[in-house]
A = this chain, B = another copy of it.
């Protein structure tokens, strides 16, 4: 299978998952004061923005990675499907965080779920990256070695950072979600691929 098909299908899943995030923001009921209910929804808006940016950056990275890939095989398809399974799952922990982050007794479980989702996603990124760049039958000969190294460093940072953010959730759930937001903003401004234009 050529990589273009895999990329088009992956694009579709990224675009749909990112757009389904809005469904987690519940419309207030008729009994409440609407303006205060809308302001009270801030965790929903925040979780929406964090998940939106995180998926958006993953989409950018996905294209970046596949620029270096000349062919796909069984392992790559399998790992990519695993990655998409995680991406398409993101709306669920996003809803859980939005619903429970202000609930003192439950916020920890919500933030851990959110962090575990991103950490498992980072594991699939590592596998995808590793299986793509370590095999000459997959890696394009035209891949720019300098760019590869830069991305390599970027990808390896992801897993420990998300794992650390998940560990923080055990102590302070809100700090943990703020860290995931900061990671997203950091990647927007600093991701390696930004260097090439």
Q: Are A19 and B20 in contact (CB under 8 A)?
A: yes
Tally A residues with Cβ within 8 Å of B: 66
Q: Are B21 and A88 in contact (CB under 8 A)?
A: yes
- Kindly report which residue of chain B lies nearest to residue A44, judged by CB atoms: B92
Q: Which residue of the partner chain, among B20, B34, B78, B100, contacts A110 with CB atoms under 8 Å?
A: B34
Q: Are B84 and A56 in contact (CB under 8 A)?
A: yes
Interface with B: A121-129, A146-154, A187-195, which one?
A187-195
Specify how many copies of this chain sit in the oligomer: 4
The chain A residues found within 8 Å of chain B, CB to CB, are 1, 5, 8-9, 11-25, 27-28, 30, 33-35, 38, 48-49, 52-53, 56, 59-60, 63-64, 71-74, 77-78, 81, 84-85, 88-92, 95-96, 99-100, 103, 105-106, 108-110, 113, 137, 188-189, 193-194, 197
